[in-house]
Amino acid sequence: MVPTDWLERIVSNFNDPAVIAVCGADGPIEKTLKSRTVFFFVRNAIRLCPVFGLYCLGGTNSAFRKDAFMQVGGYRNLPHSDDADLGFRLSKVGKIRYDRKVFVEFSTRRLEKNGYGKTLWTWLKGDLLLLMGRDIRAKEDYSRQEY
């Protein structure tokens, strides 16, 4: 779910011609203690990534310039972590801006179905493998599930 001013906020970040991608925060629609606590830590970990020179995109809340997207080959067909992969590749050709005011909410039904720990471990493991230049292999088709 995006707020009514989401598009305007995203577009305003592209006023800087050096910015080729924008990523914002996300959080659960569900207001359970578990979901809020987990995403408090996840969001803060993502905010620290640029300190270490890591710029990724969240698949739930990002936008990018078409020419930059095409230049890096767009999304790759990965079982998961395709958003982080795209961010890592885009960061090599231009500036990615993280704007915490660009916030969206999403459902945690996948995390509830698969388990928070298992899902977060899948995301982290995929991101680390990509950073090491290794392929991601999935035992299950993570990206195509029914709810």
For 72-101, how does the pLDDT look when each residue is reduced to its tens digit (9 = 90+)? 999 998 888 888 899 889 999 999 998 888
Give pLDDT tens digits for 8-40: 999 999 999 999 999 888 889 998 999 888 888
Tokens 């995390």 map to which residue?
111
Specify the pLDDT at position 133: 84
Q: pLDDT tier at 43 (50, 70, 90 boundaries)?
A: confident
For the chain, the domains span 6-131
Q: How many CB atoms lie within 10 A of CB 3?
A: 13
Q: Which CATH superfamily is domain 6-131 in?
A: Spore Coat Polysaccharide Biosynthesis Protein SpsA; Chain A (3.90.550.10)
* Residue 1 clears pLDDT 60, i.e. is over it: yes
Give pLDDT tens digits for 114-134: 898 888 888 888 888 888 888
- Give the mean pLDDT of 65-75: 96
